[in-house]
Structure 1
Amino acid sequence: MVEEKSALPVAESARCPAILISAPASGQGKTTITAALARLHARQGRKVRVFKCGPDFLDPYWHELASGQPVHSVDLWMTGEADVRRRLHEAAQDADLILVEGVMGLFDGNLSAADLAQRLGLPVLAVIDAAAMAGTFGAVAYGLHHYRPELRWAGMLANRVATAHHAELLQRGMREPQLWLGAMPGVQLGEPAPKPKSASLLPERHLGLIAAHELGDALQRLDAAADALAQTPLGQRLWQAEPGQPSWQDWCVDFMPPAQHEPQPEIKPWLAGKRIAIARDAAFSFIYPANLDCLQSMGAELCFFSPLAGDALPACDAIWLPGGYPELHAQALAANTGLREALAQHVVQGKPVWAECGGMLALCESITDLQGAQQPLWAVLPGRVTMQNRLGGLGMQQLVLPMGLLRGHTFHYSRLDTPMAFSTRSSRPGAEVHAERGEAFYASGSVRASYFHAWFASCPAAAAWLFGATIEG
């Protein structure tokens, strides 16, 4: 039976079992383990809330499918500590279990997953890719455990383990055996044979994991991962405490709401009466749910359309073209000539467009893939896009606009060649504004476009300005 939880007054703490799932580095399989753990407990009737540390559009799709609950991003810089505390406190009031997936390696970044775990008192589970090690696993585990003594630990889970004997060697190397939480096999979900060179149970592409909604067997993959995890000490850990037995109640966290004095970004009905049309499909899928919440909190009416499905542009006052994978669907996008013409007419009428990363690319004249093939696009903006094997931009970014500073990030494998002059650039956190390494911000007529992905709640007034709001003062 799942223990019922009563609602708590906002001013009080909310107590809930919770862990942060991290790893020594990216690519160790922490997303797979997080999703498998969420699926395992959701199948047992528990309400699981999953959060993703750092900027990420793809992993949350898997976590939402696994848990059946909305997934939000938490980050000490991009979303801010007050926002992190508020979201986790609210979740803890009615969730049975909270899982937070870390970003990169546990200690990587100026504000790392370890920093988040330490500030909130989250026990840490480290997922370690053990495919090419035996006794050294224990040394890695020991180093992680003792690197920062202030951290609270749940334990270590070995991933990509080949055999039962391999698992025995890994466990035997542990200096602190109480931290051993088991071993997971390195097999692809839905496939019977091991894939020794695959660290993840979920398929990937150039910007990360393939989103769950793009795979017809996504839920079966998650169930297979949950079944494998159920055979480990972590998967078999008791839910309710029993004398002398480890349980999830050992990992309870008292989540406090943000302090009353912590400043919150001002939100006013700057977009009241405005209807914003948002492209949303496999080509334009990089949308934070919190950004939609922010637009609605400012009074906007949201409507969605699918360029890939051949949808016409809905009647609207402004358009948002989010990031995604237009490079994978360039031919289908170009074929929607009715939408292309409607977009051009929208711009002629002076109505606002915010085109973010992939949305900006779709508005350009053409895109050239890695094989050198060129495909026409919508040609609303002058410029040609070239896909490339190396990263064109990666990391946290801030963008100063007339209404304030927006926080966000960048991540792309393409290059834009355009005669458009940029009006400003984003910059790294703490760096000088207009630094050369930042992303260009273009203003062409009523179109505002950039590789920069914005977190709207960091400055709602600036977000409203992107969609044509007139803000006084």
Structure 2
Amino acid sequence: MIQEIKIPRILISGTGSGTGKTTFTIALTKALQSRGLKVSVFKCGPDYLDPGYHSFVTGKTCQNLDGWLMGKDSVISSFVGASQGSDISIIEGVMGLFDGHSPNSEAGSTAEIAKWLQVPTVVLIDASGMAGTFSAIASGIKNHDSEVPIQGFIANFLGSKSHLSIIETASIPLPILGGFPKSYEHSFPERHLGLHSAGPDILTEEKLSFWKDLAKEWLDIEKILEISNSAAPIFSEGLTEIQTKTADCKIGIAFDEAFHFYYEDNFKKLRENGAELIFFSPLRDTKLPEVDGLYFGGGYPELFADSLAKNKILIEDIKNFANSEKPIYAECGGLMYLSSEIQNIEGQSFPMVGLIPGKAIMGPKLKSLGYVEAYTEKRTILGEAGIRFRGHQFRYSDLILENDDESIFSYHIRKRKSDQTTREGYTVSNVLASYVHAHWASNPEIPKNFLASCRRFKV
């Protein structure tokens, strides 16, 4: 049944990466929370790190909204469902407002999400070293696509309040809702994959208080709330009760500092299809929980390789689990952990689980970045041959196999910028590992098939 749902909401976009969207979103969230408002935050695109920051700040899981990976219906359903119980929903964009799957299409872009969810949008512009040019950039963005509901602009990286006043006197096509000065000492540190993972050592109370107070002082909070409350109702089946199967299958989820890159929607689909998720730590636990299947997500195993290697008791338990033919699924960092060894950026090597016969070697430069489409060429724990799904790669390592046995491959991978395919998806018995971070909204049969494989090997 289609329902009309009122959700106060606002989308924070920018002219590109590095314009301060994440910091701005955190600052606005903290300012709204200080008013007693319950805030839900979402992230456009496939990123894992920014959602971790927003989850930490709100205490509520930040959902990804990706048009290319998920499709319109899944985006709307996820947004509506995760917005329930909140007073306002904030969506952080990805890259620039119109950047997505292709330079000639809005597929996978923030603009696509803005239109699908009819969400009032504000755009951050790096105002450093400019005045009148700010107006030209704002006008170009406003006029690029009239269907994107842009409602205002933010002048970021200002020199002073006088700088903001100068920009405000220019002929701007929409209101300026404030801006932030440069503040390097309160910025959040970055590493090779982007921001450091969220935690109290990074998101300190001192920094969060600083950005909250800055938002109160420099932003027109009342106007931002007025804009968010002006959002049109969403017509959706998002609140329809989903028939969740009784849990009859236990899935162990590797989750700690080394493994925490997961799409929340994948967890949701596992639960809806009868899974009980049991979280464990490859860093600290010495025994696997009693489960029917294992799921190793991405993360930073290379930064914890020494500790992972020293946990030999758990490694032996994982090997025994695999020898019992119970299914194990792994992505990116999980693949690295299941390989024979990891060589870090300094050239040090550490032995890993050894289920996948290859060495994961970290490099100083990005090895792969972007959307991919996968096609299974043989039966795997995810289903019969011919399964298609979409995902994303973002890695600084390569897997160097120990031999030329091509039977290990189970996927053909096609990048969005090429018609050429490469072979991937490493299989050994009921172990399947890949560099692809798969989003199962692109094929809801995958979680069903994975759980069916787990049920087949239940003791």
Q: Matches of 2:331 and 2:84 in 1, distance apart?
A: 35
Deviation of the 1:77 alpha carbon: 2.0
Partner residue in 2 for 1:23: 14
Cα RMSD (Å) of the superposition?
A: 2.7
Q: Which runs of 5+ in 2 are unaligned?
A: 102-106, 377-382
Partner residue in 1 for 2:132: 135
Partner residue in 2 for 1:78: 69
Is 1:147 the counterpart of 2:138? The answer is no
Q: Which runs of 5+ in 1 are unaligned?
A: 1-9, 192-200, 240-246, 261-265
Superposed, 1:179-328 pairs within 5 Å as 179-188=175-184, 191=186, 201-213=187-199, 215=201, 217-237=203-223, 239=225, 247-248=226-227, 251-258=230-237, 273-328=248-303
- Relative to structure 1, the CA distance from residue 275 to residue 361 in structure 2 (aligned partners, 3 Å threshold; closer, same or farther) is same
Q: Matches of 1:311 and 1:133 in 2, distance apart?
A: 57
Deviation of the 1:122 alpha carbon: 1.4
SS in 2 for 1:126: strand
Is 1:175 the counterpart of 2:211? The answer is no
Is 1:66 the counterpart of 2:45? The answer is no
Is 1:336 the counterpart of 2:336? The answer is no
Q: Matches of 1:235 and 1:259 in 2, distance apart?
A: 29
Asked if 2 retains the 8 angstrom alpha-carbon contact of 1:61 and 1:212, the reply is: yes
Deviation of the 1:373 alpha carbon: 2.6
Deviations 1:197-220 (A, max 9, x none): xxxx32221112222226264344
Identity %: 34
Alignment counterpart, residue 395 of structure 2, candidates 412, 428, 444: 412
SS in 1 for 2:64: strand
Asked if 2 retains the 8 angstrom alpha-carbon contact of 1:139 and 1:173, the reply is: no
- Relative to structure 1, the CA distance from residue 219 to residue 311 in structure 2 (aligned partners, 3 Å threshold; closer, same or farther) is farther
Alignment counterpart, residue 431 of structure 2, candidates 447, 452, 458: 447
Asked if 2 retains the 8 angstrom alpha-carbon contact of 1:16 and 1:98, the reply is: yes
Deviations 1:354-405 (A, max 9, x none): 0110001011222222232333323232111111222222122222344532
Alignment counterpart, residue 372 of structure 1, candidates 341, 347, 356: 347
Deviations 1:101-136 (A, max 9, x none): 111111112411112212322111111122343332
- Relative to structure 1, the CA distance from residue 138 to residue 14 in structure 2 (aligned partners, 3 Å threshold; closer, same or farther) is same
TM-score by length of 2: 0.87
Alignment counterpart, residue 427 of structure 1, candidates 401, 411, 414: 414
Q: Matches of 2:134 and 2:227 in 1, distance apart?
A: 25
Deviations 1:430-457 (A, max 9, x none): 975xx43x56111112210100111224
SS in 2 for 1:366: strand
TM-score by length of 1: 0.85
Deviation of the 1:286 alpha carbon: 0.5
SS in 1 for 2:326: coil
- Relative to structure 1, the CA distance from residue 248 to residue 372 in structure 2 (aligned partners, 3 Å threshold; closer, same or farther) is same
Asked if 1 retains the 8 angstrom alpha-carbon contact of 2:126 and 2:156, the reply is: yes
SS in 1 for 2:221: helix
Asked if 2 retains the 8 angstrom alpha-carbon contact of 1:278 and 1:305, the reply is: yes
SS in 1 for 2:357: coil
Q: Matches of 1:238 and 1:431 in 2, distance apart?
A: 41
Q: Matches of 1:250 and 1:323 in 2, distance apart?
A: 37
Structure with greater proportional strand content: 2
Amino acid at match of 1:206: H
